[in-house]
Amino acid sequence: MSREDQEAQEDELLALANIFSKEEFKRQDATKGGEIHLFLQLPSEFATVQQTFADDFENSVPFLPPIVLNFELPPDYPSSAPPNFTLSCKWLSPTQLTLLCQHLDDLWEENSGCVVLFPWIQFLKEKTLDFLNIKSPYEIELSSNGLQNWMQPPEKTSADGVLLERGSIDKRAIQDVQSVSALVKCILDSIEAQEKKVFDSQQFLCNICFMEKLGSECTHFKDCQHVYCNCCLKDYFEIQIKDGQVHALNCPEPECKSVATPAQVKDLVGEQLFCRYDYLLLKSGLDLMADISFCPRPSCQTPVMLEPQGEMGICTVCQYAFCVYCKKTFHGITNCTVNSEKLAELLKEHQAADKKGKRLLEMRFEQLKKVVENIKNVEWIGENSKPCPSCKAPIQVHDIT
């Protein structure tokens, strides 16, 4: 490698690293190469056509997955040899990628002896759609065998394997997608990633602290499109979770019904408080299920599945057997300590509860109502019977006066 070639390569790689982000350009020092992800600027209302796409996302797509240029610089680049490269893309067919590869070869011939990566990048980013005559709506073609690169060998190749004949599939052209469903997921992921990138770079006014901050420091409620800074939302969510109000983690805008996603909550409050949020959210859901109770031991609190019509729960973790009504150690046929006073307290609580709280208490009320009825039955038997002298079974006493 000549000194001039070495300096030209280092200057070009350094310039790429300064221009592109770490996500867009990954340098490989061991091979004097790298990988560049090129996102095309699509026209407004650009639409794609594929039979199975309609059920997965709207026809209009603002972003598509990138064209990926993998390159390796030979020792005699740029004085005499071009970069070795491959072009891969999920939504361009191998035939289309072949045409792009051939045009990159043409650009090298035009710029022979000079660095060529920037002309290649500029062409791929700005002129791919026009060069391939891609217009909206664009029909995405997928090969029948999933992952597809060159399907047939070139009819003529040079000594270094560069395609010479037009119409064949270039071995450097790779459509790296396994199936339609995989392509759909990639497009959705690309849209989400690019929208986040745009959001992170914009300024937003937080209506809590009234300060302008970058989107990267804010949280966006997608349903209502309201944006608040992370510092304010973090304080708000932490207070709600510590108070047990896990269903109140909604947008702070007055009367707004948008709710934060679990991922947003976790990012804001951290792992430890999120575990409490996750547990309380699960518990509130299980509380509404009549056949689910929780182990009464404060150190356990494991959800317990109850048997139909059963009055006893057995924790699968600590093996604690408890009465499903009074939550104390299971007492068999002994009268439950739940009484009519407890029922009266629950009725008062029912009147002050919200809709979800009323539903929960009504379910518990039905269970406690059965206990009160059993207590009344035992009291009636005690007042209106006497034990049999032989077997001690209660015998009703008739009033013969």
DSSP one-letter string for 57-121? S-SB-S--PPEEEEEE--TTTTTT-PPEEEEE-SSS-HHHHHHHHHHHHHHHHHTTTS--HHHHH
Give me the sign of the Cα torsion angle 106, 107, 111, 113.
Answer: negative
Local confidence pLDDT in tens for the 401 residues of the chain: 788 999 999 999 999 999 998 889 999 877 789 999 999 988 887 887 654 444 444 466 788 899 999 999 999 999 999 999 999 998 898 999 999 999 999 999 998 889 999 999 999 999 999 999 998 888 777 755 444 433 333 344 433 344 444 457 899 999 888 777 777 788 888 888 888 888 998 999 998 999 999 999 999 998 898 999 999 999 989 988 888 887 778 898 888 888 888 888 888 988 888 888 888 887 777 666 667 788 889 888 888 887 766 678 889 899 998 887 777 888 877 766 665 566 566 666 666 777 766 666 665 555 555 555 565 666 677 777 888 887 767 777 765 44
Residue 120, amino acid: W
pTM of the complete model: 0.56
How many CB atoms lie under 10 A from the CB of residue 11?
11
- What's the maximum distance between 2 C-alpha atoms anywhere in the chain? 128
Residue 338 near residue 298, CB atoms below 8 Å: no
User: Rounded distance, CA 92 to CA 125, Å?
Assistant: 14
Nearest alpha carbon to residue 36 among 21, 45, 26, 44:
26
